[in-house]
Amino acid sequence: MRCEPALKSPPGGLRVSNVGVTYPNGVVALQCANVEFRKGEFTVLLGLSGAGKSTLLRSLNLLVRPTSGEVVSPEFGALGSAKALRQHRRQTAFVFQHHQLIERFSALANVLTGRLGYHGTLRSFFPLPRPELELALHCLERVGLADKAMSRVDQLSGGQQQRVGIARALAQQPTLILADEPVASLDPATSEKVLGLLRQICKEDGITAVVSLHQLEYAQRFADRIVGLANARIVFDGAARDLSEARLGEIYAGHKRPNEQAPESPMGGEIPVKPVFTPEMEMSL
Ligand SMILES: Nc1ncnc2c1ncn2[C@@H]1O[C@H](COP(=O)(O)OP(=O)(O)OP(=O)(O)O)[C@@H](O)[C@H]1O
Ligand SMILES: [Mg+2]
């Protein structure tokens, strides 16, 4: 099928140009997607289940290969080139719905896995240089979990685990964070805390974020920009305040809209603890 002409925006963001994805089983998951994710913006992907959010998100670092069109990095060029893709992936971090942490490892060890991309193999990563440990600990401090550095992650709450997931992403020192329903397994209060924290950190570090969510309420509260998908197409791309009833109708096509409320500020009542290295920490890694 033919797409509309691609966007002609000035360069500077990650550009998705006429991207289509048809899975091997014939499902058309994305059609003619034209969108640019500008540097430092916090964009939320909204849409019903099956609309194509994960497919679009995963195509941004070619975890899903577009069957048409291209994704172009502002720094490295079209990701079709193996070198550009390698460089782009190194500075792109993923935050998953189910954390994907190594459960029997400590929070600190999990965060350190975010550094593996810089070291090639696990073996070349040891002995751990002190700056790596300090960076990992600093990342845990930023998500308010310095005091849990040595706790096994399977002994942490779901919200704490997701914060470890964010710390691991940060340890990668990314310029782009992709998060696929990062709060889908969390209660409303914890969801708001985690999203607030993610947004705050991305803003502080100038990280571009693309986050898929089911909760319209959170999208309107946290997003600089919303990209709405329906039936494998982008049907809205604009500021949250421009998301009119008519445009919402296009995204949700008459279905019940997911909406959740949750008061509370980022980090809640928890008091961040200043991290201190102990010999025990170094030995147990
Ligand atoms: N690996 C795959 N192989 C075949 N079809 C797939 C694959 N992944 C997704 N699909 C299909 O592609 C379409 C879009 O799926 P996608 O996961 O992108 O939707 P989504 O908006 O993320 O949905 P959800 O909100 O449920 O996560 C759906 O019809 C889905 O069944
Ligand atoms: Mg999905």
pLDDT in tens, 4-26: 666 555 557 999 999 999 999 99
Q: What is the DSSP letter of 9?
A: P
Span 168-177, mean pLDDT?
95
The answer to whether position 1 is within a domain reads no
**Nearest C-alpha to atom 4 of ligand 1 is from which residue?**
23
CATH number at residue 131: 3.40.50.300
User: 235 with 229: CB under 8 angstroms?
Assistant: yes
CA of 26 to the centre of ligand 1 (A): 12
* String of DSSP letters for 115-164: GGGGTSSSGGG-SPPHHHHHHHHHHHHHTT-GGGTTSBGGGS-HHHHHHH
Helix or strand run (H / E) with residue 32: strand 28-37
CA angle 242, 42, 85 (to 5 degrees): 125
User: Hey, whose CA ends up nearest to atom 7 of ligand 1?
Assistant: 23
Cis peptide before 182 (omega within 30 of 0): no
How many residues comprise the chain? 285
Ligand 1 atom with least separation from CA of 181: 27
Q: Which ligand is nearest to the CA of 46?
A: 1
Q: Answer whether 118 contacts ligand 1 (Cβ < 6 A).
A: no
Q: How far is CA 49 from CA 19, 251, 254, 257, in A?
A: 20, 11, 14, 11
- Residue 100 placed within a domain: yes
Q: Which residues contact 14 (CB under 8 A, 6 or more apart)?
A: 36, 37, 60, 71, 72, 73, 74, 176, 208
Range of the domain at 264: 14-284
> Does residue 178 sit within a domain?
yes
Using CA positions, which residue lies closest to atom 18 of ligand 1? 52
Interval between CA 53 and ligand 2 midpoint (Å): 5
Half-sphere exposure of 254 (CA within 13 A, CB side): 0
On whether residue 69 sits in a domain, the answer given is yes
Question: Vertex 41, ends 43 and 131: CA angle to 5°?
Answer: 110
Query: Could you report the per-residue pLDDT of 173-227, keeping only the tens digit for each?
Result: 999 999 999 999 889 999 999 999 999 999 999 999 999 999 999 999 999 999 9
Q: For the chain, how many structural domains are there in total?
A: 1
Q: Which ligand is nearest to the CA of 180?
A: 2
In this prediction, residues 248-276 reach a mean pLDDT of 55
Looking at residue 261, its pLDDT comes to 39
Ramachandran bin of 45, using left for φ above 0, alpha for ψ from -120 to 50, beta for the remaining angles: beta
**Percent of the chain topping pLDDT 70:** 82
Cα–Cα separations (whole angstroms), residue 228 to 12, 71, 98, 231, 232:
22, 19, 23, 10, 10
Distance 194 CA to ligand 1 centre (A): 25
Choose which residue among 19, 22, 28, 49 to substitute to test ligand 1 binding: the one with the highest number of ligand atoms within 8 A of its C-beta: 49
* Separation between Cα atoms, residue 94 and residue 91, nearest integer Å: 10
Write out pLDDT tens, residues 33-90. Answer: 999 999 999 999 999 999 999 999 999 999 999 999 999 999 999 999 999 999 999 9
